[in-house]
Structure 1
Amino acid sequence: MASLLVINARLITVAAGADNLGYLDEGWMLVEDGIIAATGAGQPPAGTTADETLDVAGAFVAPGFISSHSHLFTSGLRGLGANETLYGWCDSMLGFTANLTPDDMYWSTLHGSLDFLANGVTTAYNFTDPLQAWESMVDGKRLGGNAPLRPVEYHTRQADGCRDAGLRFVDAIGMDVSTGTDDEIFDRFAAEVAHTRAMDPALALGASIMGQVQWSPRPEAAELEVEAMRRFGVTNQAHFLESPEAVPLQQAKFALYQDAGALGPDMMFGHFIQTTPEIIEATAEGGASMSWQPASNGRLASGVALVPEMLDLGIRIGMGLDDQACTDLADPWGNMRAGIFMQRARTKDPLSMTPETVLRLHTLGGAEILGVADRVGSLEVGKFADFVVVDPRTPDVGPLWHPVRTYVLSMSLRNLKQVYVGGVLASESGVSTNPLAAEASARVHADLPARATQFGHPR
């Protein structure tokens, strides 16, 4: 059984219920067989040994970040639709992926997963590109809804990419309910879920539905998704109330989920910006949660979600990095700061969003809404040893008057030195230890431009 002893750490455990997020100015952590076996203050007790000792010499050791809303296949498509809102950006990015093969999607997802790991994200809720290709939205309505379905391998190869990167993930699958009979829809979904559930459960943490009611032309879409949630025991995260376009139509579709009985602990709303007091109250009463993507919301000019108000009502919230193609740099520290700045500018109240709050939302809060907080999200005994080593002296940020606040406000990817998943080094100074990393980079750089030449350049 392999073991690792981390010593001389500024340890941020993000322990549940701790006002200071469980910070220890000098701490240690023992990892056995990929699981946290013990943590403590000062030096480890006499006689504590391990196969390897990692002396971080005063660096921060904190949980790997959780991205509760991600699209990892987009890693090779950054910078597209830079002057567009959501639907125009989707036309640019997803209009291009409509021409990609399952093998293209594997390498693109692997590339995106390794990018997340290199930037300190160790668990992601990953929306796979659905089997039905994107069709443009006009006045908040999807045109046609009749694009031909791609093979099931188009999805399964994306899940394979997450696994082969060594990223922990929840696999979000589109049901594409506008194509096929109900039996065909459920059989197709069952095959995709079965593929994910056959993987190593230490990496594939669960299957979920990519809620598509916002785009689906079929009025029964919510009912079918709720039936799948119950039949297959999966969660659901819907992109919902994101774009500032066709807001009354979007808001009207909330009733479809509400009437279908979706508003429970297994239902998440991604973005959730164009809300009303009634929608927020119904979400809180039903026990549903939301995933907040501040950097993406700013990039796409989507607006600012009422996160402090939702937290006050008891809505559980996680934070996501969304697409690498709509945040361009998968930077969890930048995402946290964007969230703080947006909320404080909106409310004119610095207490409306604190550094401690966003750090919890981007770690344990994300794990909670995904239903995986028993395994990831904090550095607690019994959980996977997924952590980052962040050095406040390289570059030097000066004295640490309030260490946790400095960790959020002053650290950056420049300070990120190492990323561990299950106590095993996954990335060091931005360089992946994965043997597929070089090939993933080469394939993305070669294959995506070749597809652009073949089918037309993305814009």
Structure 2
Amino acid sequence: MLYTHATIITVNTNRDIFINGAILVRGNLIADVGKSADLIQKYPEEESYSLEGHIVIPGLISTHMHTAQTLLRGAADDLELVSWLCERIWVLQGNFTPEDGYAAARISIAEMLKTGTTCFLESMVTVSESGIRGCLGKIVMDIGSYAKDPKWAMHPGLVEDRSTSLLGALKMWEKWDGKANDRIRVWFGARTPGGVSEALYREMTALSRENAIPITMHCAEVKADREFFASLTPPQTPMSFCDNVGLLGPSTVLVHMVHLDDGDIAKLAATNTHVAHCPTSNAKLASGICRVPELLDAGVNVGLGTDGAPCNNTNDLMQEMKLAAIIHKAKSYDPTLVPAETVLEMATINGAKALGLDECIGSLEVGKKADFVAVDMRKVHLQPYFSPVSAIVYSATGGDVRMVVVDGKILVEDGKLKTMDEEEIWKEGEKRGHEIAERAGLGEKVKGRWPVIA
């Protein structure tokens, strides 16, 4: 297929943008990129698809999200992290059935595809059938609490031991890694320090190096995390702890990373460890603001993630880009910090680097996988625009996504899912979400603060 007459933001090495550009897809790869007139002349027999009035970008890459949590959208609003986790999210998730988990993954992936995300990090199901690309982090843990505080105990329905978590992850890696035409990669998804013993961390990181299995982990999200590290003997910082147990390195993505000192940032840069920035989650849970400008200045690779729906309320990475661009300007009084171009890099090529996939996705170049998104700009809230990158980051939302192609296949066309039944998915999600809240005994608490009259 030859996709023509679009404005194409390639995010290639030169950061070329083609006005009236075209992309030739053969199989699951990009065979050519350039001006429409040139490619139409070069490939006169090729079937064509006009994307006139659209901006085409590389498929967005979410470096952190929780598919299971979408059934809990809006069930834990206006709470700080520990109360949010211990009193709502862990209790609700602990009452999931396997069928709930499947429904949650389907509604999450449907939303991601419709809003332009073509690859994500975390969770464990429905990647094959939906057509999306996923790096799936299987939970690794052996302590059922947050920061070893007994007041912050996990719901029993979520607690796993070494056998079910670490060894279970290895079994899943052996079974699923590289499947679905290499759209599936299996990772270790370690719980936050305090939820994993140092011995299990060391065993996991040794297995990671031995088998080339990447690792992702929440870290330094809230002040309580930093206080936990400081309470150890001897006292440590977030990154000195991670370094001691072998977590740092180019195959690790650490999530949130809000409470870092200069030494932590230097250690991240020296070890080529990646960071997943989730500004909406950090702001909504009052966790703080990640030091992204300092991380970027130090040479740390920073990707972008939505986190879960209960602390973001969407899985829309397009909206996440806008907040990522403006939140640091407000804090620093410097409007030049984290410009739109940097944020689009975070959501595309930086995310691909974090996942170890930058040789095949993250930019629109010959030989890379055909993962791209077409945003329909023929709308009153998107016109006029002057910089295509600015229009995507500051004006567009996931609702403006018209087409999504992953691995050369059209998964969203005219804004509609082609591989999944959207109405069936949202109806099932609505039903199961309310059932979980009732099963967990939180049916009234999740309704908000104002009286609801049925």
**Equivalents in 2 of 1:244, 1:344: separation in Å?**
23
State the one-letter code of the partner of 1:330: N
Q: What is residue 228 of structure 1 aligned with on the other side?
A: 207
Q: What is residue 124 of structure 1 aligned with on the other side?
A: 120
Q: What is residue 172 of structure 2 aligned with on the other side?
A: 192
The 1:232–1:186 alpha-carbon spacing in structure 2 relative to 1, beyond 3 Å, is farther
Give the counterpart of 2:366 among 366, 381, 388.
381
2:182 counterpart of 1:202: yes
Aligned counterparts, 1:17-416, within 5 A: 18=14, 21-43=15-37, 44-49=39-44, 52-91=47-86, 92-126=88-122, 128=123, 159-178=124-143, 186-197=166-177, 199-204=179-184, 206-216=185-195, 218-245=197-224, 247-250=226-229, 252=236, 253-416=238-401
State the one-letter code of the partner of 1:29: I
The 1:36–1:98 alpha-carbon spacing in structure 2 relative to 1, beyond 3 Å, is same
Aligned length, in residue pairs: 421
State the one-letter code of the partner of 2:90: L
Specify the SS of the correspondent of 1:329. coil
The 1:105–1:219 alpha-carbon spacing in structure 2 relative to 1, beyond 3 Å, is same
Q: CA deviation at 1:396?
A: 4.9
Specify the SS of the correspondent of 2:265. helix
State the one-letter code of the partner of 1:7: T
Q: What is residue 143 of structure 1 aligned with on the other side?
A: none
Q: CA deviation at 1:325?
A: 2.1
Contact in 1 for aligned 2:118/2:132 (Cα 8 Å):
yes
Specify the SS of the correspondent of 1:177. coil
Q: CA deviation at 1:340?
A: 1.4
State the one-letter code of the partner of 1:223: R
Contact in 2 for aligned 1:117/1:167 (Cα 8 Å):
yes
Unaligned 5+ segments in structure 1 are: 129-158
Q: CA deviation at 1:268?
A: 1.8
State the one-letter code of the partner of 2:128: R
The 1:6–1:247 alpha-carbon spacing in structure 2 relative to 1, beyond 3 Å, is same
The 1:185–1:31 alpha-carbon spacing in structure 2 relative to 1, beyond 3 Å, is closer
State the one-letter code of the partner of 1:124: F
The 1:50–1:417 alpha-carbon spacing in structure 2 relative to 1, beyond 3 Å, is farther
State the one-letter code of the partner of 1:265: P
**Equivalents in 1 of 2:46, 2:310: separation in Å?**
41
Q: What is residue 10 of structure 1 aligned with on the other side?
A: 7
The 1:55–1:289 alpha-carbon spacing in structure 2 relative to 1, beyond 3 Å, is same
Specify the SS of the correspondent of 1:377. coil
- Listed one character per residue, the Cα deviations across residues 157-204 of structure 1 (whole Å, up to 9, x for unaligned) are xx3322222210001011223488867765333212223226324320
**Equivalents in 1 of 2:164, 2:382: separation in Å?**
57
Q: CA deviation at 1:275?
A: 0.5
Q: What is residue 150 of structure 2 aligned with on the other side?
A: none
- Listed one character per residue, the Cα deviations across residues 28-62 of structure 1 (whole Å, up to 9, x for unaligned) are 11001121110012411524046631111131111
**Equivalents in 1 of 2:416, 2:214: separation in Å?**
33
- Listed one character per residue, the Cα deviations across residues 332-362 of structure 1 (whole Å, up to 9, x for unaligned) are 2221111111111122212211000000100
Q: CA deviation at 1:274?
A: 0.5
Q: What is residue 140 of structure 1 aligned with on the other side?
A: none
Unaligned 5+ segments in structure 2 are: 144-158, 231-235, 447-454
The 1:121–1:183 alpha-carbon spacing in structure 2 relative to 1, beyond 3 Å, is closer
| Cα root mean square deviation, aligned | 2.2
User: If the length of structure 1 is used for normalisation, what is the TM-score?
Assistant: 0.86
Farther off after superposition, 322-331 or 29-38 = 322-331
**Equivalents in 1 of 2:46, 2:142: separation in Å?**
52
**Equivalents in 2 of 1:66, 1:395: separation in Å?**
27
**Equivalents in 1 of 2:130, 2:171: separation in Å?**
22
The 1:430–1:297 alpha-carbon spacing in structure 2 relative to 1, beyond 3 Å, is farther
**Equivalents in 1 of 2:380, 2:207: separation in Å?**
49
Contact in 2 for aligned 1:81/1:88 (Cα 8 Å):
no
Give the counterpart of 2:418 among 430, 433, 441.
433
- Listed one character per residue, the Cα deviations across residues 100-133 of structure 1 (whole Å, up to 9, x for unaligned) are 122221121111111100110000001x3xxxxx
Q: Percent identity?
A: 24
**Equivalents in 1 of 2:78, 2:45: separation in Å?**
53
Q: What is residue 154 of structure 1 aligned with on the other side?
A: none
